[in-house]
Structure 1
């Protein structure tokens, strides 16, 4: 994989590897690689003599000019898998290839949307990804038939995935501590601020957490899985109405008992403008209805007429206030 990274990306990988706090994470990725190797024919071969992991890591650090690494004691694993995974890690780092998808994937294609823009991308296999405003998708120019179809998402996206005759997996990687794996389905993935969620519209998906101690979660149509960085173990898994989570791709904003505070956050993330709710009582008001999405001024006008609000632009921000006329 050498030659696929820029000098800045190679420097970022070196800086990440030099941090002692990242040694455990590197080991966790290696264990994931071992699991995948377990299904190969080599797994049935006699065990390969296990190398000294500390010595291997030390050699790699010295080769990259990073000095000696902090020591990390890894849990026991089958010898052939430890050797193969350690060799894979060393080769990837030394070559500057696809190492840390949670840092920044080295992918040939990158599509980004501006604030307020929605864009649909045709993927190499004929699947489609629709990006909401202020989002980025990275993926390869082509996918090998014997490898997963992988994309990396920042922001919010809607995916319509084509099933392949060979049951080739489709994986959406996020920076939220999990990946979403599917065969053929329709779903949304959201990752902004400290919040992440997956909403399944049809088919079936599996949410695979980076933390291997956490069990995978299988979603059924009409279900949501939501996590927050502050409480990574307190995931919410429940049935929901899917329209509010996917209507943006059809130029609609669907509110279903949505608080004004949540609406303000949505507007900020999608249009890149600060939105202030005038008072705490209004922030907690919940709204249900559908308004068109597109030009921000048109959207604000629709919100004012539908929910009796007053939207005022001042000093580069939008202030939402209650426009209800008190009864006498």
Structure 2
């Protein structure tokens, strides 16, 4: 019986670690068009891993050798010699998917053709501020990555590519040089001089403007750009990309993390659990539906996870238990008295 094609087997196949029988089964599976949509995100994950490895990125004055790049892709995928024009459909698709995966990494490899790239990544629970080539600053929340060129020229936009969550303080340039934050959420954020946050995790993305002016430019050219004013939010979800939320908000809850604070405003415990998982990389379990729906308002420190959990327990009348690599949130006996919001 041929093996079941799983993501784990597919990744071993790409890494050249599959047995001959497994490799044959994967090749046959890829030949079926119905399976290619499932395999595409697996291919993207493979390319994200390859993109994270040290590579030589062509300088701006150089033209990438696309034939050599494609041949290199074939070799990395275990295809041996460069595939001829009449290659089987699964090979042609896999090479195309690999190239598409490269472009999907925010255009960070082939399509942007940037000078030598810089990449900064934060660990879970880490906050780090980066001085960009023009003197602007980017602050990354935990489990986030920022890529940008080592040097910027005045005749081209200043561009960065963000995964996760970042706060930007952008310097205005005398020549009104554009500053663009690219995301994988189907839009880019363009500014001149301003302060704002960009968030992209799970199936959700948002931009919150603290000061200045930004334009959200959707990849879908049929959708009009959105201009944000200070104190406004734009939020999208992958499940409903055509229905973004654009509204006025209080900005403190969205930017307080850079100052080691967690600001909650009618925030549900379920949403808090998601924030903790994304920022600290630990599973958070809420032990009852009623507790998951409970909402909290207040400000607690986030200098480290233990301090945060202690503050949550004392402020919001709940219990946080560490067990087997996860955190369990549960109700404490007695009535809960929501704490008043503290000054930020």
Verify same fold: TM over 0.5: yes
SS in structure 2 of the partner of residue 125 of structure 1: coil
Match of 1:162 in 2: 171
Shift of 1:66: 6.5
Could you tell me how far apart the structure 2 residues matched to 1:151 and 1:66 are?
Answer: 36
Could you tell me how far apart the structure 2 residues matched to 1:102 and 1:236 are?
Answer: 25
Could you tell me how far apart the structure 2 residues matched to 1:116 and 1:124 are?
Answer: 26
Over 3 Å counting, the alpha-carbon distance change for 1:61 and 1:125 in structure 2 is: closer
Shift of 1:100: 2.2
Shift of 1:314: 1.2
Match of 2:269 in 1: 260
* Residue of 129, 132, 136 corresponding to 1:123: 132
Shift of 1:315: 1.4
Over 3 Å counting, the alpha-carbon distance change for 1:314 and 1:216 in structure 2 is: same
- TM normalised by structure 2 equals 0.67
- Please state if 1:224 is matched with 2:227: no
* Residue of 313, 320, 337 corresponding to 1:311: 320
Kindly tell me the number of residue pairs found equivalent between the two proteins. Answer: 250
Shift of 1:104: 5.5
- TM normalised by structure 1 equals 0.70
* Structure 1 gap segments, 5+ residues each: 1-10, 12-18, 23-59, 70-92
Match of 1:89 in 2: none
- For the aligned residues, what is the CA RMSD? 3.0
SS in structure 1 of the partner of residue 243 of structure 2: strand
Could you tell me how far apart the structure 2 residues matched to 1:200 and 1:66 are?
Answer: 51
- Please state if 1:105 is matched with 2:108: yes
SS in structure 2 of the partner of residue 214 of structure 1: coil
* Structure 2 gap segments, 5+ residues each: 1-13, 15-32, 41-68, 72-81, 88-95, 110-115, 337-344
SS in structure 2 of the partner of residue 231 of structure 1: coil
Match of 2:85 in 1: 67
- Alpha-carbon contact 1:256-1:289 (below 8 Å) kept: yes
* Residue of 137, 140, 144 corresponding to 2:153: 144
Over 3 Å counting, the alpha-carbon distance change for 1:293 and 1:250 in structure 2 is: same
Over 3 Å counting, the alpha-carbon distance change for 1:105 and 1:61 in structure 2 is: closer
Moved more, 168-177 or 104-113: 104-113
* Residue of 114, 121, 144 corresponding to 2:123: 114
- Please state if 1:283 is matched with 2:286: no
Over 3 Å counting, the alpha-carbon distance change for 1:326 and 1:165 in structure 2 is: closer
Could you tell me how far apart the structure 2 residues matched to 1:315 and 1:292 are?
Answer: 24
- Alpha-carbon contact 2:106-2:161 (below 8 Å) kept: no
Could you tell me how far apart the structure 2 residues matched to 1:134 and 1:213 are?
Answer: 33
User: CA offsets, 1:88-145, max 9 Å, x none?
Assistant: xxxxx9xx9xx72645613610000000000000000000000000000000011110
SS in structure 2 of the partner of residue 188 of structure 1: strand
